[in-house]
Structure 1
Amino acid sequence: MLETIAILVLILWLAGVITSYTLGGFIHLLLVVAIVMFLIRVIQGGKL
């Protein structure tokens, strides 16, 4: 579940960067959250 949310947030972030449509720092905050969730999954030894 966490990795699905992280992938979705990364895709939305990339779409925002590519189209230059961002909501200020919010989209970058979502990117940080996605990276943190991914790192937690890796540290816990979950499947990638």
Structure 2
Amino acid sequence: MLGWSLIFLVIAIIAGVLGFGGIAGTAAGIAKILFVVFLVIWIISLVLGRR
């Protein structure tokens, strides 16, 4: 998940530099969602792994 999030972040940065605002915004939104999902799964696994 974190890897995909970083890939979409890089795509957003490159698209933003090249002037593709719509693609950059979409890629940044997907990167944010994937990062939040990664954090939730990581916290759940951390809590359940301690038991």
The answer for the alignment partner of 1:12 in structure 2 is: 4
In the superposition, the TM-score normalised over structure 2's length comes to: 0.55
Aligned length: 37
Higher relative contact order (CA 8 A, sep 6+): 1
Q: 2:47 aligns with which of 39, 43, 46?
A: 43
Residue ranges of structure 1 left out of the alignment (5+ in a row) = 1-8
Residue ranges of structure 2 left out of the alignment (5+ in a row) = 13-23
CA distance in 2, matches of 1:19, 1:42: 30
Instruction: Compare the two structures and name the one with the higher helix fraction.
Output: 2
Identical counterparts, % of pairs:
24
The answer for the alignment partner of 2:15 in structure 1 is: none
Per-residue deviation at 1:25? Answer: 1.9
Question: Relative to 1, partners in 2 of residues 1:15 and 1:26: Cα closer, same or farther, differing over 3 Å?
Answer: closer
Name the Cα RMSD after superposition. Answer: 1.9
In the superposition, the TM-score normalised over structure 1's length comes to: 0.58
